[in-house]
Amino acid sequence: MNKTKVIILVAVVTVAAAVAVVMWITSLDKAKGIPLPKNQFTAKIEQEIEQLKAKPDSKFCKDFYKEVAFHINEFYKPLPPKYPFGRFGKTQSETDQWKENLESNLYSAYTQKFIMQVKTVFRGSEWKQEDLKFIQTEKNELQKSKLLVAGSPVDKDFTTIQTALDKYSEIVSFISSCKGYGCSKTGVLDHFPIAEVRSKIQRAASLRSNHLENEYLNNCIRLHDGLKEIPTMLFNAHVRYLDTKIDYWSNMWCNYNSHRDYSNNLNIPLKNEINDLSNSNIYSGINVDGECTRLFNKWSADNQNAYKATYPCRN
């Protein structure tokens, strides 16, 4: 066989192979375009998915979702001899394809329903703790699924949900820190941390004026009420601090050599702290006069005792 014939033969074989590949790919495309044959089992799952889509947005429906997922797995299991490939199809390939399609459709329907249900909660004024806990857990589970497409609308909605949950936790933590705020230092030279308190009050005011920095959180009345109460919380903490300090230093006049010594080193410094509270403008909207008068009277009583005492403690 001469060289020319060999080249021709190779060319013919190459063309034939290429044609065979093209025909195979074409046959696959045609097969993909042919709808899978349905039966009573596939119809039941499709009907249940439609029922899930019709569930109200006002109530979570995970139990129903789990029930449909259970039916898919049960129908997929082979039951020889009647259903050797499962109940979805007559071949393993057909059955596998049905399972994949139904699981994908179920996930799509449930995630969209879940997102609508979450937004219903977020649009409400009462954010229940049990709802928020469920939303966080369920969102995490759905986000792990291999069926979630990165960058899809559902994926973006999950990010939006997480942003709202994170901001909610941040504000709840902030309110809690203000509610439990206090200062345990009672030394004469120690002072209630006014600068830190002012920063917290300004932060609370900023959050309220900026709609809690999140369109959904702005609907939550509990957060608004908590932020509104922060100046009062911190004022009460300030009063408790001065009460504790007065209690600690009361009847300590006998540790000083004279009333003047007591007055300069203890009485006046603590009185100035009460004055600082009275003259402070950070607790705007709060009537501080009543508490300040009470604190002044309480500390003045110690000064009167010191003045009358002539320091019998000193021998």
**pLDDT, tens digit, 9 for 90 and up, residues 210-251:** 999 999 999 999 999 999 999 999 999 999 999 999 999 999
- Give the structural domain span for 65: 38-141
Is there a single domain that holds both residue 236 and residue 280?
Answer: yes
In this structure, are 196 and 293 located in the same domain? yes
The verdict on 177 and 304 lying in the same domain is yes
Return d(Cα 96, Cα 79) in angstroms, integer: 15
- C-beta of residue 100 within 8 angstroms of C-beta of residue 76: no
Pair 180, 286 in one domain? yes
Distances (CA, A) of 312 to 249, 254, 256, 268: 18, 7, 11, 22
At a CB cut-off of 8 Å and minimum separation 6, what does 258 contact?
311
Rg (CA), the chain: 37
Tell whether 183 and 136 lie within a shared domain: no
Report the b/e string of 44-78 with b at 16+ CB within 10 A.
ebeebbeebeebebeebbeeebeebbebbeebbee
- Pair (178, 75) in one structural domain: no
Assess whether 115 and 180 both reside in one domain.
no
Q: Would you say residue 54 lies in a domain?
A: yes
Domain count, the chain: 2
Q: Is the peptide bond before 81 cis (omega within 30 degrees of 0)?
A: yes
- Does the residue 86 lie in any domain? yes
8 Å CB contact between 65 and 110? yes
pLDDT of residue 36: 83
Q: For position 243, what pLDDT does the model report?
A: 96
Tell me: do 213 and 293 sit in the same domain: yes
Distances (CA, A) of 235 to 51, 189, 202, 238, 271: 55, 20, 14, 5, 17
Is 153 domain-assigned?
no
Q: What is the pTM of this model?
A: 0.83
Same domain for 304 and 189? yes
One digit per residue, the tens of pLDDT, for the chain of length 315 reads 455 544 544 444 454 444 443 344 444 344 455 678 999 999 999 999 999 999 999 999 999 999 999 999 999 999 999 999 999 999 999 999 999 999 999 999 999 999 999 999 999 999 999 999 999 999 999 999 999 999 999 999 999 999 999 999 999 999 999 999 999 999 999 999 999 999 999 999 999 999 999 999 999 999 999 999 999 999 999 999 999 999 999 999 888 988 899 999 999 999 999 999 998 889 988 989 999 999 999 999 999 888 887 555 554
Q: Which positions ≥6 away from 104 have C-beta within 8 Å?
A: 147
CA distance 50 to 29: 28
